[in-house]
Amino acid sequence: MAQPPTDAALAALVAAARRSAIARRLQGDVETRLLQSIVDATARLFDAEASSIALFETDPDRLEFRVAAGEKGAGAIGLTVPPTQGIAGYVYSTGQALALSDVGNDPRFNRDAAEQTGYIPRSIAAAPLFDEHGTLGVLQVLDKRGSPTFSLADMELLAVFASQATVAIAAARVQRDTARLLRSVLGSIGPELSADEVEQLVGAATADLDPDDDTPFWTLVDRIARLRALGDGETTLVADLLEVLAEHAGRTRRSGRG
């Protein structure tokens, strides 16, 4: 039987969570920005009314539209649909890309979702986002302006964009999932812990990591984040300045003690 997590293990987890939170703060919401750029490019290249990406989330199982582009796309953001329904659901469930046209003529087509977005498309193409672990979500493009339907070349191009989106998600997920990772680690090293106890420990580990904190620490992290735009020479200068500051701080502490 595994022992409950020790203070040392908890301290290590806190450190890991802190580093991850700092990395997330430094880089901003990479996933959303990358996905947004992919749907922007998809909508533009297809000359489509809208493009969107829905990602699979659990508790409860759902496909959540994370980003959208195009004049008609905005209403989709934040919308969730069950993965057992609709075209996005089918493409997610089977991993098979497909396109439908004339969908607007079918009064049953995704009526709920369409009513929520205020937009009923005439045609829709959807491709799965998948990596070696499975399907993560769905990339959709709606209503290509120049044509009532989608061609094979369109489907193939959509698959290329889908694979780009998958890479973007994989790169960003590690950061986003810190709390989930902590829960999973705590759950496996202390199987006798109840869900509430795990939640309490995760809460304790991440309590002082609220990125909205207006503390001097986060102010510093934000300022460092802004330095990304600097060239090599300027970066070296800033690094030298920080080194001088660190030495100064060390001397102040030593002289303070002595």
Partner 1 sequence: MTKQTLPAWSEPFADPRRQLKRGLRLRGVTRQWAWGDATGAGVRVGIIDSGLENAHPALRGRVVENVTVEMTDDGPKVVPDEPIDLFGHGTACGGIILSLAPEAELVSIRVLGADLRGKGTAFAAGLEWAIDRGLQVCNLSLSSKSESLYPVFHDLADRAYFQSTAVISAANNVPAPSYPSLFSSVFSVAAHGEPDPWRVYYNPSPPVEFGAWGVDVPIAWKDGGSTVATGNSFAAPHIAGLVARIVSKHPGLSPFELKAILASVADNPGRRHPWRHRPAPGR
- Which segment (3-11, 33-41, 128-136, 180-188) binds partner 1 by CB under 8 A? 128-136
Paired tokens of 253: 């502490």
What is the rounded radius of gyration, in angstroms, for the C-alpha atoms of the chain? 24
Token pair belonging to 121: 């498309």
Site string for partner 1, 25-64 (x = CB under 8 A): ------------------------------------x---
Does 83 help bind partner 1 (rule: CB under 8 A)? yes
Parallel, antiparallel, or unpaired: how do β-strands 62-69 and 80-81 relate?
antiparallel
**For residues 145 and 226, which CB has a smaller minimum distance to partner 1 in the complex?**
145
Residue 73 CA to chain centroid, in angstroms? 19
Shortest Cβ 158–partner 1 spacing (Å)? 8
Site size toward partner 1 (CB under 8 A) is 41
Q: Which two tokens stand for residue 248?
A: 């100064």
Do 179 and 24 touch, CB atoms closer than 8 A? no
* Sign of the four-CA dihedral 68, 71, 74, 80: negative
Rounded Cα distance between 79 and 153, Å, is 29
Q: Using CB under 8 A as the criterion, what x/- string covers residues 91-110 for binding partner 1?
A: --xxxxxxxxxxx-xx-xx-
Interface mask toward partner 1 for 161-200; x: CB under 8 A: -xx-------------------------------------
Q: For residue 86, what are the CA distances in angstroms to 17, 70, 137, 160?
A: 38, 21, 13, 23
Shortest distance in whole angstroms from residue 134 CB to partner 1: 7
* Beta-bridge mates of residue 51: 69, 141
Site for partner 1 in 135-154 (CB under 8 A): 135, 149-153
Long-range contacts of 194-201 (CB under 8 A, 24+ apart): 201/5, 201/10
Q: Does 159 bind partner 1 (CB under 8 A)?
A: yes
How long a stretch of residues is the chain? Answer: 258
- Shortest Å, Cβ 221 to partner 1: 38
Instruction: Give yes or no for a contact between 45 and 157, defined as CB atoms under 8 angstroms apart.
Output: yes
5 versus 137: smaller Cβ distance to partner 1: 137
Cβ-based neighbour number of residue 75 at 10 Å: 17
To partner 1, the closest distance from the beta carbon of 45 in angstroms equals 9
Q: Which residue, 160 or 207, is less far from partner 1 as judged by CB?
A: 160
Q: Which residue of 40, 80, 114, 130 would you call a contact of partner 1, by CB under 8 A?
A: 130
Note the residues at the interface with partner 1 (CB under 8 A): 61, 83-87, 89-90, 93-103, 105-106, 108-109, 125, 127, 130, 132, 134-135, 149-153, 155-157, 159-160, 162-163
